[in-house]
């Protein structure tokens, strides 16, 4: 193992206080394991979060928290790294494609899960030195290039961003809230206990100390949440039970907490996890090659958002269709022509964004993006498009 040359970002607990008078919002989307290509489902969630972040920023002080560092400690990431070192040897990861690394991840998910003791050296290096396996380092750098092509805000994919709480501090904080059940002294696991709210017990750590995704999220969000007026949790519908628990815990700390489920994108009528493969013709790289990277980047960026947000909607009933994606690109070109030379101006732009907030502070990406396509819309300002979509 080698340790990257980096300086850790300031601990999450010690971020600068926002200016007085404006509401504060924390956006915390589910993270993607850096072990595979980005699929249409991943792109939908990323584009949804990006539009929410950029549309809400003119109205509030928004923190977009997305830290791969925090979730490297999960079994699916550490186990993948251990699998690679045990079965593949010293591969030239820096020259592999994300599809090639993703194929290795599919093999890993078919393998027998590694014992906890095999993962401890990896966890130690992550916690103490910010180490990242070369395979995931490569994937994160490839994702950074996709973010650039899509005009996505990069919240720090390749930065070392450790959570504000250690594992034991997190367990103690849960106990203080009356929501922790630690049975390790008797050889049992650690549970998140929200049974008094009618929610089931949820194991967050094994008896031998291996945390799951929810435990990592708690390490990150428990110290952050109290500083914000509103916390927005964006997640897959399949994770609704865990995020309902997370909403309950964070809400006990004071902020208003909203869950925003963003449906996955079926391929040929089927929703499949990336761990099973079958994504080779639908990766972010493949889609970018399909729409072309030599044309107008504004058309590409707006068109992708029109399709993945307004076209597919918040649910997951519609399969991916390349023909509708290209129609969205054509619409984007027409919208850009229509907006050319028109500006809403600061106050009018802010009012337009506020119209799509509902009863919360954050802007609803679906409502705002769908409004761009309304036939009755009289004025479309280029400043709205450049602020939120380009």
Share of the chain above pLDDT 70, in %: 92
Instruction: Indicate if the pLDDT at residue 374 is higher than 90.
Output: no
User: Looking at residues 21-26, what average pLDDT do you find?
Assistant: 94
Residue whose C-alpha is closest to residue 362's, from 221, 233, 237? 233
Contacts of 226 (CB under 8 A, 6+ apart): 253, 254, 255
Mean of the pLDDT values across residues 105-123?
93
Averaged over 278-296, what is the pLDDT? 84
Q: Is the pLDDT of residue 17 over 90?
A: no
Q: What is the average per-residue pLDDT within 125-154?
A: 96
Sequence-separated (6 or more) residues with CB below 8 Å from residue 175? 182
pLDDT(4) > 50: no
Residues 6+ apart with CB under 8 A from 280: 99, 286
- Pair 209, 73: CB distance under 8 Å: no
91, pLDDT greater than 50: yes
Length of the chain: 390
Count Cβ atoms within 10 A of the Cβ of residue 229 and give its class: 0-12 exposed, 13-18 middle, 19 or more buried. Answer: middle
Confidence of residue 20 (pLDDT cuts 50, 70, 90): low
Residue 376 reports pLDDT greater than 80: no
User: Which two tokens mark 23?
Assistant: 């509401």
pLDDT tier at 278 (50, 70, 90 boundaries)?
Answer: confident
Q: Which of 56, 149, 28 is nearest to 361 (CA)?
A: 56
Phi/psi of residue 214, each to 5°?
Answer: -65, -40
Average pLDDT of the residues of the chain: 91
Pairing relation of β-strands 202-205 and 190-192?
A: antiparallel
Query: Over 90: is that where the pLDDT of 268 sits?
Result: no
Whether residue 18 has pLDDT greater than 50: no
165-221 pLDDT per residue, tens: 999 999 999 999 999 999 999 999 999 999 999 999 999 999 999 999 999 999 999
Euclidean distance between CA atoms 244 and 15, whole angstroms: 26
- pLDDT value for 207: 94
Number of neighbours of residue 311 by Cβ within 10 angstroms: 21
Q: Answer whether residue 6 shows pLDDT above 80.
A: no
Q: Which pTM was predicted?
A: 0.91
Question: Based on the number of CB atoms within 10 Å of its own CB, is 381 exposed (0-12), middle (13-18) or buried (19 or more)?
Answer: middle
Task: Place 274 in a pLDDT band, splitting at 50, 70 and 90.
Answer: low
Long-range (24+ apart) CB contacts under 8 A made by 270-279 are: 271/41, 271/316, 274/36, 274/37, 274/39, 274/41, 274/42, 274/102, 274/105, 275/36, 275/105, 275/106, 275/109, 276/106, 276/109, 277/102, 277/103, 277/106, 279/36, 279/37, 279/39, 279/102
State what percent of residues in the chain have pLDDT above 90: 82
Report all structural domains of the chain as residue ranges with CATH numbers, in order of start. 18-165+209-294 (3.40.50.620)
CB of 319 within 8 A of CB of 40? no
pLDDT of residue 375: 65
Q: Give residue 9's pLDDT band: very low, low, confident or very high (50, 70, 90).
A: very low
The pLDDT tens digits of the residues spanning 349-370 come to 999 999 999 899 999 999 999 9
Strand segments, DSSP code E, in the chain are 24-29, 61-64, 180-182, 190-192, 202-205, 230-235, 256-261
pLDDT in tens, 33-77: 999 999 999 999 999 999 999 999 999 999 999 999 999 999 999
What are the residues whose beta carbons fall under 8 Å from the beta carbon of 59, sequence distance 6 or more?
A: 22, 23, 350, 353, 354, 357, 361, 363
- Of the pLDDT bands very low, low, confident and very high (cuts 50, 70, 90), residue 7 is very low
CA distance 285 to 145: 10
Among residues 352, 33, 44, 390, the alpha carbon closest in space to that of 213 is found at 33
Beginning with the edge strand found earlier in the chain, give each strand of the sheet holding 256-261 in spatial order: 61-64, 24-29, 230-235, 256-261
């Amino acid at each position: 193992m080698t340790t990257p040359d980096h300086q850790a970002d300031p601990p999450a607990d010690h971020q600068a206080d926002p200016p007085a008078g404006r509401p504060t919002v924390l956006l915390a989307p589910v993270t993607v394991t850096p072990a595979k290509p980005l699929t249409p489902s991943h792109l939908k969630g990323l584009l949804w979060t990006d539009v929410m972040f950029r549309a809400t920023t003119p109205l509030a002080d928004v923190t977009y928290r997305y830290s791969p560092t925090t979730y490297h400690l999960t079994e699916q990431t550490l186990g993948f790294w251990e699998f690679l070192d045990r079965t593949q040897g010293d591969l030239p990861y820096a020259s592999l494609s994300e599809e090639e690394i993703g194929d290795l991840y599919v093999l890993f998910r078919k393998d027998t899960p590694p014992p906890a003791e095999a993962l401890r050296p990896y966890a130690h290096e992550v916690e103490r030195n910010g180490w990242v396996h070369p395979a995931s380092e490569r994937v994160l750098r490839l994702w950074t290039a996709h973010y650039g092509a899509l005009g996505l805000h990069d919240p720090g994919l390749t930065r070392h961003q450790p959570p504000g709480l250690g594992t034991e501090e997190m367990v103690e904080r849960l106990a203080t809230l009356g929501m922790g059940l630690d049975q390790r002294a008797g050889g049992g696991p650690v549970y998140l206990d929200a049974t008094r709210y009618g929610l089931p017990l949820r194991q967050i750590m094994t008896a031998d100390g291996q945390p799951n995704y929810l435990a990592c999220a708690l390490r990150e969000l428990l110290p952050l949440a109290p500083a914000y007026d509103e916390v927005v949790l964006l997640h897959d519908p399949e994770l609704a039970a865990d995020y309902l628990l997370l909403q309950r815990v964070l809400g006990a700390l004071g902020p208003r907490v909203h869950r925003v489920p963003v449906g996955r994108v079926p391929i040929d009528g089927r929703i499949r996890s990336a761990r099973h493969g079958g994504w080779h013709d639908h990766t972010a790289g493949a889609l970018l090659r399909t729409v072309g990277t030599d044309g107008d980047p504004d058309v590409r960026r707006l068109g992708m958002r029109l399709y993945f947000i307004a076209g597919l909607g918040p649910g997951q009933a519609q399969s991916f269709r390349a023909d509708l994606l290209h129609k969205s690109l054509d619409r984007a070109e027409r919208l850009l022509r229509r907006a050319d030379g028109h500006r809403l101006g600061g106050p009018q732009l802010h009012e337009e964004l506020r119209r799509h907030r509902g009863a919360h502070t954050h802007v609803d990406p679906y409502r705002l993006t769908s409004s761009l396509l309304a036939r009755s819309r009289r004025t479309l300002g280029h400043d709205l498009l450049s602020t939120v979509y380009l």
